[in-house]
Amino acid sequence: GRSALSRKDSRRAKELFTSLIRQYPKSDKLPETRYYQSEALTELGENASAILVLDEIINETPSSYLVDKAWLRKGDNQYTLGVQDTKRYDEAINSFQIILTKASASPDDKLQALYKVGKCEEKLGHTDKALERYMSVVYDYFTNLEKGIKQDHYWFSRAAFDAAKIKELEKNWRQAVRIYEIIINANVPASRAAQDHVNKIRKQYWWCFY
């Protein structure tokens, strides 16, 4: 099944994982099989079905190491369904908020969840709330660094860029530059792109910086 997933043959993967679950309903590998089944369903655009499978992991095997990942993926699927029904964005926020309250969740998972809460808020038109969540990701990233906690820079970079983009849309060029400079000073792979944005803004709106 996982081999089929890696080949992007999601339909075949779905069939294989479903067959395994039917054949071995008491297997210790059941949470893992269900998780990959949900991934296949997600790839096929069967988001509602994927959510049902993820709920089985969460509710039936609460001690599984995959529960935190299941909450995140549940939120992702709810977010995708938000295009059809905006109430799904609120549901996604609730799923991501669960991760923020769980002691078992890794720092990276918490940054991811916080960032995605911001994306949901932005989709709902709550720009101020979205900006607050994005900047919380930025601040939490640096707080974790000070504590010596290892983490990926990916969610930090995405959150900071999205926060800066909000300020650009507001035509608040000085604030946008300040946020991009945070990325530059963080010395992450996205720093070069942030510098490009700063150069462009300073060139086009030079009078804002005097």
CATH number of the structural domain spanning residue 167: 1.25.40.10
160 and 64 in a single domain? The answer is no
pLDDT band, residue 4 (cuts 50/70/90): low
159 and 134 in a single domain? The answer is yes
For residue 12, the tally of other CB atoms under 10 A from its CB is 15
Specify the pLDDT at position 76.
99
139 and 42 in a single domain? The answer is no
Domain-ending residue, one of 86, 103, 120:
103
pLDDT tens digits, 106-127: 999 999 999 999 999 999 999 9
pLDDT tens digits, 138-160: 999 999 999 999 899 999 999 99
Q: What is the mean pLDDT of residues 90-102?
A: 98
Domain boundaries, position 70? 1-103
pLDDT band, residue 18 (cuts 50/70/90): confident
Domain-ending residue, one of 103, 126, 148:
103
Task: Transcribe 54-122 into DSSP letters.
Answer: HHHHHHH-TTSTTHHHHHHHHHHHHHHHTTT-THHHHHHHHHHHHHHH-TTS-HHHHHHHHHHHHHHHH
4 and 92 in a single domain? The answer is yes
